[in-house]
């Protein structure tokens, strides 16, 4: 979308299903029955695995520097990171999760090059916060990290 224009075609619902056509400069992508929203508002699509299934979205993510004054490099649905001491952080969510049954994934490093990996554990502790604990990969002792990455899926 070089010029930022998005064209939407017709939506046909007479049979209970429809087609949305998106395109630019004469190019079109027919979503058709490959993507649907069911009666429970679940988005379903064929992501290349041969069947249409519910898409589970990333509800929040953050890339942060956990040394000195903690700083967020990039994020989605994370308003801030609280530094609670060496190797102890909390990612504060902008929009609350519906419950705490989400899955948090994490990784981290002691350098921006990715060398000297650190042990990073992230846990959803409330609908508005993710607990992040980082440690030395060998000893497990708490350490701050230069690169911290956390994603929350539900």
Confidence of residue 21 (pLDDT cuts 50, 70, 90): very low
Query: CA dihedral defined by 105, 108, 114, 116, rounded to 10 degrees?
Result: -130
**Domain boundaries, position 48:** 7-54
Q: How far apart are CA 141 and CA 103, in angstroms?
A: 24
Q: Which of the pair, 4 or 116, is modelled with greater confidence?
A: 116
Q: Is the entire prediction scored with pTM above 0.75?
A: no
Mean pLDDT, the chain, rounded, equals: 81
- 98 and 26 share a domain? no
Confidence of residue 112 (pLDDT cuts 50, 70, 90): low
Which of 55, 59, 103 is closest to 77 using CA atoms? 59
Beta-strand ranges (E) seen in the chain are 7-8, 21-24, 27-30, 35-37, 43-46, 52-54, 58-65, 71-76, 78-83, 88-93, 103-109, 118-126, 129-136, 147-153
- 147 and 72 share a domain? yes
- 50 and 85 share a domain? no
Compute the average pLDDT of residues 125-130.
96
Q: List the beta bridge partners of residue 120.
A: 134
What the block records as the tokens of 49 is: 């695995």
Q: Do residues 22 and 8 lie in contact, with contact meaning Cβ atoms separated by under 8 Å?
A: yes
The total domain count for the chain is 2
Confidence of residue 113 (pLDDT cuts 50, 70, 90): low
């Amino acid at each position: 979308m070089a010029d930022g224009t998005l064209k939407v075609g017709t939506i046909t619902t007479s049979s209970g299903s429809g087609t949305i056509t998106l395109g630019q400069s004469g190019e079109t992508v027919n979503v058709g029955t490959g993507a649907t929203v069911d009666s429970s508002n679940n988005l379903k699509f064929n992501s290349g695995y041969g069947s249409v299934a519910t898409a589970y979205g990333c509800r929040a993510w953050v890339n942060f520097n956990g040394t000195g004054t903690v700083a967020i490099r990039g994020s989605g649905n994370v308003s801030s990171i609280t530094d609670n001491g060496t190797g102890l952080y909390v990612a504060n969510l902008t929009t609350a999760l519906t419950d705490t049954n989400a899955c948090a994934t994490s990784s981290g490093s002691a350098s921006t090059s990715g060398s000297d990996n650190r042990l990073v554990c992230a846990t959803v502790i409330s609908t508005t916060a993710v607990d992040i604990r980082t440690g030395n990969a060998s000893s497990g002792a708490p350490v701050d990290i230069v690169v911290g990455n956390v994603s929350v899926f539900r």
